[in-house]
Amino acid sequence: MSHDDIHDLELLLRSHVPLLAVETDEEQRVRELFCRLIPRLGRPLYSWSITDGLRRLDLEGPPMEGTAEPAAFLRHVRDSKQAAVYLVPDFHPYAGDPVHVRLLKEIAHGYTRTPRTLALISHRFEHPPELRKFIARFEPSLPDRETLLRIVNEEATAWAQRNGGQRVRTDRTTLELLVRNLAGLTAWHARRLARSAIQNDGAITESDLPGVMEAKYELLDRGGALSFTYDTARFSEVGGLRRLKRWLERRRQVFLDPDAGLDPPRGILLVGVQGGGKSLAAKAVAGLWGLPLLGLDMGTLYNKYYGESERNLRESLRSAEVMAPCVLWIDEIEKAIADSGNDGGVSRRMLGNLLTWMAENRNHVFIVATANAIDRLPPELIRKGRMDEIFFVDLPTADIREEIFRIHLEKRRLDAGHFDLPRLAAAANGYSGAEIEQAVVSGLYLAREQDADLTTAHLLTELEETRPLSVVMRESLERLRAWARERTVPAD
């Protein structure tokens, strides 16, 4: 148990705080922390639960009759003349009741006469605004690297004892990766995932790591704003973008193994035509670097209550920090942070929170943001220094269109050598990567209708019957290219 935790908690309890919000999944650990600390304070320690009511904890006394109901418990505390500390787990469902709010305020107002502190312990505690000035927050620290390594070693020893003294097989690199992937979890959860990694085959291998990361994400997910993918795309599935690929290759090692002489890469912004491959490229960054991909859906963060949208964003970014090293993909970022002028300033505050985090983040979270409507991007985001680089993803050139046709044909187990790729590339002039893929899909349907194998003629027919976005929205595309000419780096 961290000495810093005991020190910080003691400072709070000596600071005349009537209500203490403790957000944690480790209720037992918090209980032990208070039991160790309470002799220093000279106050008795009580515990309440909805099942048993109130009982003296430091003397292991029996429950007090008639105190199981929340209101009865709070009235007992309010009327007590004894200075004490009360542990109150799982009170969050009752915190919004007007009677309970009133009683909590009365307990807080009476603190100067009788120092009584209620430690409200929950996985998440959202207090009513009336109680804000009476509440302080305490969050127990998470295990450091040495503690996590000790936990893994303890689980390996336990497995060996259960299996006739066999040693758990691993190597130093994989062991370090496992410990790094357990960072940000509570000791209990870290122990459970370490045990799971060892249990099946008595070994810690690279094949265990994706499962650990997925389980870790599920433990951290708090509302669905983040999606998790470990098996990400490969750049071999992305046509073109050669300059972007070189840029990422050059920085891969520094991101994964920091160099004191170089600033680690922080993120990139991909702007360009719709269907040009920005989203696939974002996924492939994670694949290239061998990292899990977190997708942040900014739209799901918005909440009608004041301050909750910003809180949701902070929690999502915090979860990304705990999942580090990882790639954080924010798709169509302009839709979430463009100031609409009629949202009460929420988008501006969201942008401010995001920019502050980007400036202060020291964890290995690499941002890949994509945008289509550059005119809606706030200048604070695209100025130099926010992102390492801004890449422009244009429509593919002829040689890249050939490559894209080859990728999508081979992806469907077709021999690209049987097709006239130069002719197809020429016919697909002005098509985006997504539109070329759709031409292959439509060609397959046409071939099936004719009960024939797919041929170049089928694909040419589909291309001739389609008007690509570059034709339908020619003026918008020209404006986008003009904007990008002086402000961005070509991705190809």
- Residues 391 and 489: beta-carbon distance below 8 Å: yes
Tokens at residue 32, please?
């032990």
Q: pTM of whole model > 0.75?
A: no
Comparing 8-22, 216-230, 274-288, 378-392, the range with the smallest average pLDDT is 216-230
Say if strands 53-56 and 226-229 run parallel, antiparallel, or are unpaired: unpaired
Q: Which residue has the tokens 């994706």?
A: 210
User: Any idea how long the chain is?
Assistant: 492
* The pLDDT value given to residue 307: 57
- Residues 205 and 170: beta-carbon distance below 8 Å: yes
- Determine if the peptide bond prior to 143 is cis (ω within 30°): no
pLDDT band at 421 (very low <50, low <70, confident <90, very high): very high
Matching fold, domains 3-138 and 398-472: no
428 or 319, which is more confident: 428
Which whole number is the average pLDDT over 126-135? 85
pLDDT band at 126 (very low <50, low <70, confident <90, very high): confident
Angle formed by the axes of helices 3-13 and 27-41, to 10°? 60
Which whole number is the average pLDDT over 410-426? 92
What is the CATH class of 398-472?
mainly alpha
Report the alpha-carbon distance of residue 166 to residue 249 in Å, rounded.
41
pLDDT at 236 over 70: no
Neighbouring C-beta atoms of residue 432, cutoff 10 Å: 24
* The pLDDT value given to residue 163: 86
The 3-class secondary structure across the chain, one letter per residue, is: CCHHHHHHHHHHHCCCCCEEEEECCCHHHHHHHHHHHHHHHCCCEEEEECCCEEEECCCCCCCCCCCCCHHHHHHHHHHCCCCEEEEEECCHHHCCCHHHHHHHHHHHHCCCCCCEEEEEEECCCCCCHHHHHHEEEECCCCCCHHHHHHHHHHHHHHHHHHCCCCCCECCHHHHHHHHHHHCCCCHHHHHHHHHHHHHCCCECCHHHHHHHHHHHHHHHCCCCCEEEECCCCCHHHCCCCHHHHHHHHHHHHHHHCCCCCCCCCCEEEEEECCCCCHHHHHHHHHHHHCCCEEEECHHHHCCCCCCHHHHHHHHHHHHHHHHCCEEEEECCCHHHHCCCCCCCCHHHHHHHHHHHHHHHCCCCEEEEEEECCHHHCCHHHHCECCECEEEEECCCCHHHHHHHHHHHHHHCCCCHHHCCHHHHHHHCCCCCHHHHHHHHHHHHHHHHHCCCCCCHHHHHHHHHCCCCHHHHCHHHHHHHHHHHHCCCEECC
Report the alpha-carbon distance of residue 94 to residue 97 in Å, rounded.
6
Report the alpha-carbon distance of residue 363 to residue 315 in Å, rounded.
15
pLDDT at 100 over 90: yes
pLDDT band at 454 (very low <50, low <70, confident <90, very high): very high
* The pLDDT value given to residue 214: 76
The string of pLDDT tens digits covering residues 300-350 is 666 555 556 777 778 788 878 877 788 898 887 877 676 555 556 677 777
* The pLDDT value given to residue 292: 81
Which whole number is the average pLDDT over 446-473? 89
- Residues 330 and 369: beta-carbon distance below 8 Å: yes
- The CATH fold of domain 235-393: Rossmann fold (3.40.50)
**CATH homologous superfamily of 3-138:** P-loop containing nucleotide triphosphate hydrolases (3.40.50.300)
Report the alpha-carbon distance of residue 288 to residue 245 in Å, rounded.
9
- Residues 224 and 300: beta-carbon distance below 8 Å: yes
Which whole number is the average pLDDT over 150-159? 89
* The pLDDT value given to residue 380: 78
Report the alpha-carbon distance of residue 423 to residue 456 in Å, rounded.
9
The string of pLDDT tens digits covering residues 257-280 is 777 778 888 889 888 877 777 777
pLDDT band at 110 (very low <50, low <70, confident <90, very high): very high
Tokens at residue 194, please?
């370490």
CA distances from 308 to 139, 250, 334, 422 (A): 20, 39, 20, 54
- Residues 249 and 199: beta-carbon distance below 8 Å: no
In whole numbers, what is the pLDDT of the chain averaged over residues?
84
Q: Which residue has the tokens 């190597």?
A: 171
- List of residues 6+ apart from 321 with CB closer than 8 A: 184, 361, 363, 365
pLDDT at 224 over 60: no
Comparing 69-83, 197-211, 290-304, the range with the smallest average pLDDT is 290-304
pLDDT band at 102 (very low <50, low <70, confident <90, very high): very high
* The pLDDT value given to residue 448: 93
- Residues 335 and 377: beta-carbon distance below 8 Å: no
* The pLDDT value given to residue 106: 94
Comparing 4-18, 233-247, 321-335, 358-372, the range with the smallest average pLDDT is 233-247
Which of 24-28, 117-121, 388-392 holds the top average pLDDT? 117-121
The string of pLDDT tens digits covering residues 352-374 is 888 888 888 777 889 998 887 77
The string of pLDDT tens digits covering residues 296-307 is 877 666 655 555
* The pLDDT value given to residue 234: 66
The rounded Cα 321 to chain-centroid distance in angstroms is 7
Residue ranges of domains in the chain: 3-138, 145-220, 235-393, 398-472
Instruction: Give me the residues paired with residue 136 across strands.
Output: 20
